[in-house]
Chains A and B, each alone.
Chain A
């Protein structure tokens, strides 16, 4: 069964610190892997999208990495800001059916001043 597992489930860090969120998946082969940010009460917003051949993708202070051999992806946030408080969701599209995307449960990140 295709699955996407995220860790930690929740994380609290101080403003200005860095953090890394993890995503492990069993979907193989896959078309692309995305990270979304979802603010409380809002819809998810795309941060990065990577194909299976890409190792890293950056979007400002957000950097996503992908290791297709270990089936792991990480999202690194640099110099965190209060506005980074949100849920971060890892999403994988299977190659066999790119329309049947699979969502992780997300990591709830809280930034404290």
Chain B
């Protein structure tokens, strides 16, 4: 079974530039999550989708972050403009229906803002 796919794996950008991350969840998983993980901390939920609808985006900095899952499968997370404090790993995860099931994580997209 293929896992959660993410790209790019690594990205270095200058502050005020934009960046986009892509995620392809495990086939059949209705729930998709984007997490931000700063070094030494646990993942922090940015946004959760159920199919193509948003379930929770309360911690998404909407002035600079946006995410979409137009067809209920793949998802993109965009940051524009980036700030130094956005340097982190962006983890995409998926599960069958939500928190009651095991959540499978991708390998993450490592962002460095300089």
Residues of A bordering B, CB below 8 Å: 4, 31-32, 34, 36, 41-46, 49, 89, 93, 97-101, 103-106, 108
Known: A99-B55, A105-B40, A105-B42. A43 touches B103 (CB 8 A): no
Name which residue of chain A comes closest to B58, CB basis: A100
Residues of A within 8 A of B40 (CB): 105, 108
A/B interface sample: 9 pairs, CB < 8 A: A31-B100, A34-B102, A42-B108, A43-B91, A44-B105, A46-B104, A101-B99, A105-B40, A106-B41
Q: Chain B interface residue count: which class?
A: 20 to 34
Residues of A within 8 A of B107 (CB): 41-43
Known: A43-B91, A46-B102. A99 touches B41 (CB 8 A): no
Task: Tell me the chain B residues, 74-114 only, with Cβ under 8 Å from chain A.
Answer: 91, 93, 98-100, 102-108, 110
Contact residue among B42, B102, B110 (Cβ-Cβ distance under 8 Å from A89): B42
User: B56 at interface (Cβ–Cβ under 8 A)?
Assistant: yes
Q: Which of A43, A44, A46 has its CB near the most chain B CB atoms (within 10 A)?
A: A43
Contacting pair B105 A31 (CB below 8 A): no
Known: A103-B42, A105-B40, A106-B42. A98 touches B104 (CB 8 A): no
Q: How far, in Å, is A4 (CB) from chain B's closest CB?
A: 8
A44-B91 Cα distance, complex, nearest whole Å: 9
Contact residue among A34, A41, A44 (Cβ-Cβ distance under 8 Å from B43): A44
A98-B56 Cα distance, complex, nearest whole Å: 12
Contact residue among B4, B42, B55, B100 (Cβ-Cβ distance under 8 Å from A43): B4
Contacting pair A103 B56 (CB below 8 A): no
Residues of A within 8 A of B105 (CB): 36, 43-45
Contact residue among A46, A98, A108 (Cβ-Cβ distance under 8 Å from B99): A98
A111-B102 Cα distance, complex, nearest whole Å: 27
Residues of A within 8 A of B56 (CB): 99-100
Contacting pair B102 A99 (CB below 8 A): no
Contacting pair A46 B103 (CB below 8 A): yes
Name which residue of chain B comes closest to A36, CB basis: B105
Q: Which of B43, B44, B56, B98 has its CB near the most chain A CB atoms (within 10 A)?
A: B43
Name which residue of chain B comes closest to A97, CB basis: B99
